[in-house]
Homo-oligomer: A and B are copies of this chain.
Amino acid sequence: MRYSQLFGRSIRSVSQDVRSRGHEYLIRGGFIRESSAGRFYMLPLGMRVQEKVVSVIKEEMESLGCQQMLAPVLHPRELWEETRRTASVSFELMQVKDRNDRCFVLGGTAEEMMVAVVRGFTLSERDLPLCVYQFSTKFRDEMRARGGLLRAREFLMKDAYSFHSSRDDCERFYERMSGAYSRIFERLELHALRVAADNGYMGGDYCHEFIVEHPLGESRYLSAEDSSYCAHEDIASFIREEMNSDEAVAERYEAEALRGPSIEDGVRHYGQPAWRQIKSVVYVTDTDEKILVCIRGDLDISEAKLIRELQCSTLRLATAEEITAMGTHVGFVSPLGFQGRVRIIGDTSLRSVRNFTTGANAWRRDVLNVNYSRDFSADILADIGIAQEGHRAVATGAVLREKRGIEVGNIFSLGTWYSERMRDATFTSSDGAREKYHMACYGIGVGRTLATIAEVHHDQSGLLWPKSAAPFDIHLIQIGSDEASERSANELYSQLLAAGKRVLFDDRDVSAGIKFADADLLGVPERQIISKKLVSSGCSETQLYRASNSSVVKL
């Protein structure tokens, strides 16, 4: 490709909205352009990088025996109603009606679509495992769309779906896919960590995110200092250390409490640390059940863990009116008055403190010296707290560190979540019975992966593509417009093309400075420079450009 003919040449500056270096370089270099917020054009340069990323992913998928196919972008809404995911993911779903008034969902993930096509075939045990995948445009109606390709509203995604006759087989394949994911990100020179995470609206058993640590990332996870444990904040577990086990259990009593409603107000009022209080919060489930959730005062409730524990699809906080109607008072809610009246979910931290302080379900009344088991107990006592920096990992006790990263891929073990909700999601077992199959699914955001490479691989002058993702193999730069340079450059260009190299040939009639600056910006891994002047002046190439894989061709 001659740079003079390339559509999407470099520009000098970008708008103030662009907040990250990688994204800035992608725009300035002419790889991408924004259409509407969160929707991007891939220009020819970006398209070339995308094709490289796609081919790496494709090779690894094929090596596992996955078969490429393609489902329609518009999913019949009825399918999403079979699993009721219209409710659980509705905030991100885009929907459209055709002129026959039929409703469609713009696909954001395709589990229902894949079950719908697979169930059209009468699968037998011999046909399993089966794994299909596709590259297709996905839609997420994000409220905000900042960060360029890292959080797009429309993007190319590789999504794979596997079907299994048993949980064991599913687990084995899940681990093989996990290995393929590691190889994919390694080949693209991304250090992606496998982080246990929450299935959320995907349903199913367990899942992992592949996260590249980066301050721009929206995934918050906890990593043990001894590397023994790594988990997304939504599921990270941690030790609830005994706070005052040396203290004697004291007698409970109620007293006036001239304090405000918050935990901080309690800390100020009693001059005691936050862990001394019980934090009691009322939630309302999607079936309108009120749930009282209690946790040690210094911890926060994880709604993801709570949803999992309650097996509901959404949760919201109760309003002040709803709380008053329960016969208690905001800021003074206590589990003591609700035993047997509403379900109480307690965090395991309730066992780690002696002589808690809690409200008395009345304005400015507290109960002191409250002890779990003796004075109250939860219907479910479970891990529902958010792990924080400095907490300790359950297995080794190592200190947990908070990290942020970009989720470039995810894998979900879905169990029979879909085959239980969708009709005929079965195979014929060896003894002739129809059994529900186990499923897993596996996603990689292609655009996000491309953007992550750009965020990780750049310096102060521009991008530094790894070979596996580079838009070209060689950036050929002709310096000087004398006939000899020009002839040599054109000859070399032809030779390189004939040798099967993908070459970007900067044949423009502009200064060497502009050419080198553009080469720095575009970040093609290898350069060849044709220059009479450069060579005869004895100027070293390292004075002029940064890339180590450069060579000056002598005339």
Contacts and interface: CB of A to CB of B under 8 A. Distances in A.
Interface of A: 1, 4-9, 33, 35-36, 39-44, 46-47, 50, 65, 67-76, 91, 94-96, 98-100, 102, 104, 106, 113, 116-118, 120-121, 126-127, 130, 132, 136-137, 139, 141, 143, 153-154, 156
Nearest to A143: B99
Contacts of A1: 67
Contacts of A42: 69-70
Contacts of A46: 69
Contacts of A35: 71-72, 75-76, 113, 116-117
Given A96-B106, A99-B143, 9 more contacts: A7-B69, A7-B118, A8-B121, A36-B72, A43-B117, A44-B68, A50-B70, A96-B96, A100-B143
A4 B126 contact: yes
B41 A73 contact: no
B6 A72 contact: no
Among the interface residues A69, A94, A120, A153, which one has the most CB atoms of the partner chain B within 10 A? A69
Nearest to A79: B35
A117 B43 CA distance: 9
Nearest to A2: B65
Contacts of A94: 96, 98
Contacts of A95: 96
A139 B68 CA distance: 22
Contact residues of A: prevailing secondary structure: mixed
A163 to B, nearest CB: 9
A147 to B, nearest CB: 17
Given A36-B72, A73-B137, A7 B126 contact: no
B70 A39 contact: no
Contacts of A116: 35
A488 to B, nearest CB: 23
A43 B69 contact: yes
A75 B156 CA distance: 16
Contacts of A68: 44, 47
A67 B44 contact: yes
Contacts of A100: 143
Contacts of A43: 69, 117
Contacts of A74: 36, 39, 139, 153-154
A151 B389 CA distance: 58
Contacts of A40: 72
A353 to B, nearest CB: 43
Contact of A137 (B99, B132, B137): B137
Contacts of A41: 69-72, 113, 117
Given A7-B132, A132-B7, A72 B121 contact: no
